[in-house]
Chains A and B, each alone.
Chain A
Amino acid sequence: MAQIEIAGLRKAYNGAVAIDGVDLNVASGSFVTLLGPSGCGKTTTLRCLAGFITPDAGAIRVEGRDIMGLGPEGRDFGVVFQNYALFPHLSVFDNVAYGLQARRVPKAEIAARVAEVLGLVQLGHLKDRLPRALSGGQQQRVALARALVIRPQALLLDEPLANLDAKLRFEMRWLIRELQRKAGITALYVTHDQAEAMALSDQVAVMKQGRIAQLGSPRDIYQRPRERYVAEFTGEASYLKARIAEAVGNGRYRVATAGGEVIANGPAGLAAGSRHLLLLRPEALQPGAAGLRATLQGRFFVGSAQHCEMRIGDEVIKLYLPPQAELGEGAAVTLAVDQDAAWLLPDEAAP
């Protein structure tokens, strides 16, 4: 359990900048996720923290103590890898015991601690198997146990669920969160899966081209993104060009769009008359009595809902309708906007 501070971290490979000034504070016991597409620098940041690569500049402190001079073996972090990285020649028991043996923990204590942690991940009965005799999910649970058993300062997880199928990924999410909470351990998690990031984290850092674009709670980055990139990366999103008509409260505005006027939230202090983008999440829209005037352009049935595309002027937005809704293509619909889920973004294309 420890507080981690990353300041001004930079790393370039042969001139190609991988991370370009990452600042991040991970509070003790919290679960923070680095979220972003491949190449955004999230894995590089984690690998700098683990000590596998040396950054060109910046500082990393654990509980205020600089750890840049330490190799990975001295940093006391439990690392979980995307491809599990279990020792193929060692049994499950010996894999988990490895870190304790390196720490010269007495044999009896090793046996007890390994048994305990294997119980936590429900693999006690497989302790004599070799990794290749385990399924992917079981291997990842061994990897998790191996990282936890050393009671490290923090857990670093590099896309640990990326190689698992959808159902297992879902189960493992719960397990990881539960183990992290139970141990009260600080965790830094790397993923490109926004749903995973939001489900697991206390804080999500969305990364863009080697920097953190926005750090916030899952609710914050989903509902109040600071830029279109963040909105795009955190879930399904549609946008309408909007002009602020007037402020109607603190951080609340009446805006004009091609489909009519609506009330929306936004950062405080936006000037009347300025151009913005209105972010509409699909679940923020419902057919209603008053709101945006739109035409149904197309839809498809996915079981739990119908995904629809609506045309408003020359713009298209997406929304979900209940499966039983009967609407023909070309039908005119009025869409009520959930005020709390409509959010104003800077219009990057506007002058």
Chain B
Amino acid sequence: MKARLILGLAAGAGLGILYAFLLAPLVVVVLASLSGGEVLAFPPTGFSLKWFAKFFGHESFRNALWLSLQVAVTSTVVVAVVATMAALFQRGLSRNLAGPFRTLLLMPLLMPEILTAIGLLFFLYQIGLGNTYLGLQIGHVVITLPFAFLSITSALDQVDPALEEASASLGAGYGRTTLKVMLPLIKPGIITGGLFTFIVSFDMFAMSFLLKTVGGNTLPLALFDYLKYDFDPTAAAAATVSILFALAVVALVEKLVGLRRAF
């Protein structure tokens, strides 16, 4: 009884420390962005929203935020569709084909992002898409696809095969079974996958760094460029905006499906 209590307390304390390390930087950044002082520092001196004003007044930041949103939303839509099709396709494969297919799709997750990016850069130049918006978009889709695929296949694994059989025996073909039975049942998995895709794409650095078009920065790249020459709290404001967007997406999913059902 006593040993159990001590173990429980130790586990709680460990978890507390872990979360402190995870969340403290976020708190520091958000507080720093509200600073009234002139340099990026913690603890902040005074209170002001001027750094947010400066962030939104900065044309390169505004453009970068817009581009990041565009790329992330497009990735989300494309990946949700492609990953769903891939997951449904994999379900139909025999066991000895499904394994290799899965490994193939998860490959980008297993390789360092920078290597995938370099490879893709060469490849895109070969086919004439080097440093174009389309190339950047392809890079984001390649990296995020495995996240959504994992989330959707795990939802699909929960679906009893007897449901497909029941649907077929009632006279429904593959199309109707997919639309009326499979998609509604894996919807939480698709939405979770989309959520991961959005967040990973919105925060992606290495891939964007190599594949970006000339002058076309995403938000993480713009932030990186800015920090090279300036060290004022605008950078913290940019980071805060980025966090807020991620939270907004999470809140949206919560509102749409409820995270408890999505995970």
Residues of chain A touching chain B, judged by Cβ–Cβ distance below 8 Å, are 50-52, 71-79, 81, 83, 85-89, 98-99, 102-103, 146-147, 150, 156
Contacts and interface: CB of A to CB of B under 8 A. Distances in A.
Given A88-B185, A89-B184, A83 B172 contact: no
A83 B159 CA distance: 13
A313 B133 CA distance: 94
B162 A71 contact: no
A189 to B, nearest CB: 16
A51 B171 CA distance: 12
A102 B176 contact: yes
A85 B171 contact: no
Nearest to A103: B171
Contacts, number: 62
Contacts of A73: 168-173
Interface residues of B, number: 17
A78 B180 contact: no
Contact of B169 (A72, A87, A89): A72
Contacts of A102: 167, 170-172, 176
B163, B166, B180, B181: residue with the most chain A Cβ atoms closer than 10 Å:
B166
Contact of A72 (B163, B168, B184): B168
A34 B98 CA distance: 34
A77 B171 CA distance: 9
Contact of B165 (A78, A79, A103, A147): A79
Contacts of A103: 171
Contacts of A89: 184-185
Interface of B: 160, 162-163, 165-173, 176, 180-181, 184-185
16 contacts: A51-B168, A52-B165, A72-B169, A73-B170, A79-B165, A81-B166, A86-B166, A87-B163, A87-B166, A87-B167, A89-B184, A98-B180, A99-B170, A102-B167, A103-B171, A150-B170
A83 B160 CA distance: 10
A50 B167 CA distance: 12
Contacts of A75: 169
A149 to B, nearest CB: 9
A85 B166 contact: yes
7 smallest beta-carbon distances between A and B, as pairs:
A99-B170, A85-B162, A72-B168, A102-B171, A79-B169, A85-B166, A102-B172
Given A89-B184, A102-B176, A50 B170 contact: no
A76 B169 CA distance: 7
Given A102-B172, A146-B170, A50 B160 contact: no
B167 A98 contact: yes
A81, A146, A147, A150: residue with the most chain B Cβ atoms closer than 10 Å:
A81
A50 B169 contact: yes
A98 B173 CA distance: 12
A52 B164 CA distance: 10
A78 B169 CA distance: 6
A89 B170 CA distance: 17
Contacts of A79: 165-166, 169
Contacts of B181: 87
Given A87-B181, A89-B184, A98 B170 contact: yes
Contacts of B167: 87, 98, 102
Given A51-B168, A81-B165, A98-B172, 18 more contacts: A51-B169, A72-B168, A72-B169, A73-B168, A73-B169, A74-B171, A75-B169, A76-B171, A78-B169, A83-B162, A85-B165, A87-B167, A88-B185, A89-B185, A98-B170, A98-B180, A102-B176, A156-B169
